[in-house]
Chains A and B, each alone.
Chain A
Amino acid sequence: MVDETEREWNSMNLRNSMNLSDGEILLDYAQEIDCRIVTDSDDSAFNPKSVDGAENVSLESNAADLGSTFSSARSIIEARTPEEALSEREKKQLEKTKQIRVKYFRLLHRLGRSPEDFVASEVLCQLARLKHFISILLKKAAMELEAQRKDDLVIGKTGVGKSATINSIFGESKTAVNAFEPSTRVKEIIGKIDGVKVKVFDTPGLRNSLKDQPKNCKILSSVKKLMKKSPPDVILYVDRLDTQSDNVNDLPLLKLVTSYLGSSMWRKSILAFTHATSVPPDGPDGYPLSCEVFIAQQSEGVQQLIRELLGLNDDLMIPISLVENHPLAKKNENGETLLHNGESWRSNLLFLCYSIKTLSEVNIQNPLEQRKFVDLQIRSQLLTRPVFESHDWDRDIDYDGVLIEDKLEIAGCFPAVISVQLAKDKRECNFQLHSSFLTKREDHGTFGKNKKLSYILKGETKIRKNKAAAGVSINVNAGLNNKLSGKISIKTNCSDQLQIAAMAFLPIARAMFIKIFGQSSGDY
């Protein structure tokens, strides 16, 4: 099986236009997090070397400039190779991980995607982050590469196009669609897409009015039973792009859905917006909005609701897929319906589904060392968007400023988001830094307790008319699972004298980090 994989990869002809930045990111993860990059052995360039029984497989071939960096990475990794031999289980685990990676690469190839795609590289990074495991329950001993299966669950309001979307995904009319009558039962639809067996559960639509809540509850409880029987890999929440997102009206419905299906459903869900090629409405100036702005606003509305429901501030970003089921929409030469930007939405959606499935498989494998990572985002690293604000007296909705966001890593392992907001007249500027980290460790020592430690670091600097104000807040939560939990919260605030605040921050931060790192050594 392994040889077949190698051959396949060498013939895959990966482009060597991989950005240096992407390669660097992968390397950073490798160096700092002490993970094992599984590097490919190219017959011509390197000697295939196996480290303690694990095969080396690489992502890159024939890139001269990166080859040297890779070899240096390899030397670092080899230097860090643990003294003890890998246990049998660990080998199996690594094998399983590698198989998942291989499976993912095959899927990528089938869909015509390259590993440099942002989502793909995120998934690969997550796979690359896995460390040694201590004890894992292996779900299946062997995984057939060809017997890949995917289960989907499609839910949403009535009349938005769930059944039509399913028909479009399969490329043929698998289920009845009627413009005026809702589909009445939960249906199981099985088919093959590109050789992968896909099972989709179509559900009747949820009603919006409160009088219909009992019906909604019935529908949702039957969906829940279905989920217990055969848990879906991906949940598609379908809504229309072109109806006004009455956030207030949608909130009770989303609450109901979350309460029945569990808040973990949002970790493996995709927001699908139908009627995606509908022309955006006119903006306040009378001219139609641009598609990106329209899509961003509509999707952000729903995301905001879900975040509120789950009580998270900014960490959850549910992937979005645009769908167009109208028979008269523009198609490319393969017969796939295109969106406004020329992309085929179907392959996008399938790709997202496979990525989510891969990630969820990975998560099952390491329940112990859980890290809260930033979920998949389909945007570039540097995000720039305008900020709208309406002024009551003007009756004009004008853009108020620009917001730039970027992700970075503090001290190499804590994810953080930094954002800069600049007001239109450049009189006001906000810098914000948000970073959070959660780790859960299990000690098999005398205590046998679960320790939970998390920290949230927030910093904000506001500069207005050359005056500066700054604030920093750190929350540290330490908890033991028999309800002995503590919370330390530190806030400093200062205006005009940034130096004082900074000085106060340093010793506190130092003490905190020592405490955190002290506990990480695990000498209890």
Chain B
Amino acid sequence: MAGQLIREWTAIQQFPAATQEKLVDLLGKLKNENVNTLTILVMGKGGVGKSSTVNSIIGERVVTVSAFQSETPRPVMVSRSRSGFTLNIIDTPGLVEGGYVSDQVLETIKSSLGRFLLNKTIDVLLYVDRLDAYRVDNMDKQVVKAITDSFGKKIWHKAVVVLTHAQLSPPDALSYEEFFSKRSESLLKCVRQGARISKKDLQNFAIPVALVENSGRCNKNEHDEKILPSGTPWIPNLVHTITDVALNGKEGILVDQKLIEGPNANERGKLYIPLILAVQYFFVIKPIQKWIKDDIARETKPSWD
């Protein structure tokens, strides 16, 4: 799980030279803005490629990936440092289990965050899904809703939607760009609905979408960088998007005790108590007392009194 001793990001060496350069540039940009740590949280349904993406960013197989078995059993935090800059990535298990969003998984994630990141901030959320899935349904909305409920709506200011399996031939004779734009549009719509972002707020919540291809068969360009079907090398592209979001001026999510434990049910509506008491007193108790007095007054007294 978490290593207390933060290791050197040696795996950055195994990227091809062009990619290395770009990555180092981006890290430099972050340092210029006085950002010395970057914490990324990776979440999504099961089987979409979260662990593979983490492995691709770091450059080595830090998280186990299995093609068939159920994936990461508990959250794993990977930390690497390079020339004073620390990168923390937290890989989580899939949120969907057996047809519904698993509360147990959410609990494990929150408690692990409590252990790794108490009083630190989450800078970027990577919401991962597959490019080659064709339907967006209630399940995705529920996943988004669960993330929003756990971390607050503000997390979507700092989110990037990542679409894996990007190297595909689109069906139905659509062009790649068309397919990609349709897919990201439907997924973003689902995120907006699940997080209850109103139409007015849309400008605030412009969530970028990044494409990723984690398999070994990814096409490469002449510099030996892994590229998307459109020709752009995707690793620097993804890290660029992440840094943009990290530097977009909105604050990250602070992982404090309140977040971990979740909202306290006792706190809900506490402010209304005096108001309700006042209403009860003035509109219920007083009239009833008055009616009782009236009744007593109207009562006919018997003759012997």
Q: Name A's B-contacting residues (CB within 8 A).
A: 158-159, 164, 177-180, 182, 205, 207-212, 242-246, 248-249, 251-253, 279-284, 286-289, 294, 297-298, 301, 325-328, 390, 395, 397
Chain B residues near A179 (CB, 8 Å)? 134, 170-172, 174, 179, 182
Produce 1/0 per residue, B178-208, CB < 8 A to A.
0100110010000000000000000000000
A/B interface sample: 28 pairs, CB < 8 A: A159-B133, A164-B171, A177-B172, A179-B134, A180-B186, A182-B135, A208-B139, A209-B99, A209-B100, A212-B138, A243-B47, A244-B67, A246-B46, A249-B46, A279-B215, A280-B67, A282-B215, A283-B67, A284-B65, A284-B66, A286-B61, A286-B216, A289-B67, A294-B67, A297-B67, A326-B171, A328-B169, A397-B69
CA–CA, A242 and B61, complex, Å: 22
Give the shortest distance, in Å, between B92 (CB) and chain A (any CB).
16
Chain A residues near B177 (CB, 8 Å)? none
CA–CA, A177 and B96, complex, Å: 28
CB-nearest residue of chain A to B171: A179
Give the shortest distance, in Å, between B95 (CB) and chain A (any CB).
12
Q: Are A209 and B137 in contact (CB under 8 A)?
A: yes
**Interface bin, chain B:** 35 or more
Give the shortest distance, in Å, between B80 (CB) and chain A (any CB).
19
Chain B residues near A297 (CB, 8 Å)? 67-68
Q: Are B135 and A158 in contact (CB under 8 A)?
A: yes
Q: Are A158 and B46 in contact (CB under 8 A)?
A: no
Q: Are A158 and B137 in contact (CB under 8 A)?
A: yes
CA–CA, A1 and B215, complex, Å: 59
Chain A residues near B100 (CB, 8 Å)? 209-211
Q: A179-B134, A179-B172, A209-B99 are in contact. Are A288 and B68 (CB under 8 A)?
A: no
CA–CA, A397 and B71, complex, Å: 13
Q: Are A397 and B137 in contact (CB under 8 A)?
A: no
Chain A residues near B99 (CB, 8 Å)? 208-210, 249, 252-253
**Interface residue B64 (Cβ < 8 Å from any Cβ of A):** yes
Chain A residues near B68 (CB, 8 Å)? 244-245, 297-298, 301
- Greatest chain B CB density within 10 A among A164, A177, A284 is at A284
Chain B residues near A208 (CB, 8 Å)? 99, 137, 139
Beyond the given A179-B182, A326-B171, please list 11 additional residue pairs across the A-B interface where CB-CB is below 8 A.
Answer: A205-B135, A211-B138, A212-B137, A243-B133, A244-B46, A244-B68, A246-B46, A249-B46, A288-B216, A301-B68, A326-B169
Q: Are B67 and A282 in contact (CB under 8 A)?
A: yes
CA–CA, A279 and B213, complex, Å: 13
- Greatest chain A CB density within 10 A among B64, B96, B98 is at B98
Give the shortest distance, in Å, between B3 (CB) and chain A (any CB).
15
**Interface residue B5 (Cβ < 8 Å from any Cβ of A):** no
Q: Are B138 and A281 in contact (CB under 8 A)?
A: no
Within 8 A of A (CB), among B67-111: 67-70, 94, 96-100
**Interface residue B290 (Cβ < 8 Å from any Cβ of A):** no
Give the shortest distance, in Å, between A215 (CB) and chain B (any CB).
9
Chain A residues near B67 (CB, 8 Å)? 244, 280-283, 289, 294, 297
**Interface residue B293 (Cβ < 8 Å from any Cβ of A):** no
CA–CA, A283 and B67, complex, Å: 7
CA–CA, A180 and B187, complex, Å: 11
Q: Are B173 and A248 in contact (CB under 8 A)?
A: no
Chain B residues near A283 (CB, 8 Å)? 67
- Greatest chain A CB density within 10 A among B171, B179, B216 is at B171
Chain A residues near B171 (CB, 8 Å)? 164, 179, 325-327
CB-nearest residue of chain A to B140: A209
CA–CA, A520 and B90, complex, Å: 67
Q: Name B's A-contacting residues (CB within 8 A).
A: 46-47, 61, 64-70, 94, 96-100, 130, 132-135, 137-139, 142, 169-174, 179, 182-183, 186, 215-217
Give the shortest distance, in Å, between B49 (CB) and chain A (any CB).
10
Chain A residues near B96 (CB, 8 Å)? 246, 249
Q: Say what secondary structure dominates the interface of chain B.
A: loop
Give the shortest distance, in Å, between B174 (CB) and chain A (any CB).
7
- Greatest chain A CB density within 10 A among B130, B132, B137, B169 is at B137
Chain A residues near B64 (CB, 8 Å)? 395
Q: Say what secondary structure dominates the interface of chain A.
A: loop
Chain A residues near B94 (CB, 8 Å)? 246
Give the shortest distance, in Å, between A46 (CB) and chain B (any CB).
55
CB-contact partner of A246 in B47, B137, B170, under 8 A: B47
Chain B residues near A280 (CB, 8 Å)? 67
CA–CA, A301 and B217, complex, Å: 25
Q: Are B70 and A246 in contact (CB under 8 A)?
A: yes
Chain A residues near B69 (CB, 8 Å)? 390, 397
Chain B residues near A159 (CB, 8 Å)? 133-135
Q: A244-B67, A390-B69 are in contact. Are A288 and B217 (CB under 8 A)?
A: yes
Give the shortest distance, in Å, between A498 (CB) and chain B (any CB).
37
CA–CA, A207 and B140, complex, Å: 12
- Greatest chain B CB density within 10 A among A178, A205, A244, A253 is at A244
Q: Are B97 and A249 in contact (CB under 8 A)?
A: yes
Chain B residues near A211 (CB, 8 Å)? 100, 138, 142
CB-nearest residue of chain A to B96: A249
Q: Are A287 and B216 in contact (CB under 8 A)?
A: yes
CB-contact partner of A248 in B98, B174, B217, under 8 A: B98
- Greatest chain B CB density within 10 A among A164, A301, A326 is at A326
- Greatest chain A CB density within 10 A among B97, B135, B182, B183 is at B135
Q: A179-B134, A246-B47, A301-B68 are in contact. Are A251 and B98 (CB under 8 A)?
A: yes
Top 4 A-B residue pairs of the complex, sorted by shortest distance between their CB atoms: A244-B47, A209-B139, A159-B135, A159-B134
CA–CA, A212 and B70, complex, Å: 24
CA–CA, A234 and B253, complex, Å: 54
CA–CA, A477 and B300, complex, Å: 89
CA–CA, A179 and B176, complex, Å: 13
- Greatest chain B CB density within 10 A among A281, A282, A284 is at A281
CB-nearest residue of chain B to A284: B66
Chain B residues near A212 (CB, 8 Å)? 137-138
Give the shortest distance, in Å, between B285 (CB) and chain A (any CB).
44
Give the shortest distance, in Å, between B299 (CB) and chain A (any CB).
60
Chain A residues near B172 (CB, 8 Å)? 177-179
CA–CA, A253 and B96, complex, Å: 14
CB-nearest residue of chain A to B133: A159
Chain A residues near B47 (CB, 8 Å)? 243-244, 246
Chain A residues near B98 (CB, 8 Å)? 248-249, 251-252
Q: Are B182 and A180 in contact (CB under 8 A)?
A: yes
Give the shortest distance, in Å, between A385 (CB) and chain B (any CB).
14
CA–CA, A279 and B216, complex, Å: 11
Chain A residues near B65 (CB, 8 Å)? 282, 284
CA–CA, A188 and B248, complex, Å: 54
CB-nearest residue of chain A to B168: A278
- Greatest chain B CB density within 10 A among A242, A251, A301 is at A242
Give the shortest distance, in Å, between B188 (CB) and chain A (any CB).
13
Q: Are B97 and A248 in contact (CB under 8 A)?
A: yes
Chain B residues near A284 (CB, 8 Å)? 65-66
Chain A residues near B133 (CB, 8 Å)? 159, 243
Give the shortest distance, in Å, between A303 (CB) and chain B (any CB).
14
CB-nearest residue of chain B to A279: B217
Give the shortest distance, in Å, between A285 (CB) and chain B (any CB).
10
- Greatest chain B CB density within 10 A among A178, A179, A208, A248 is at A179
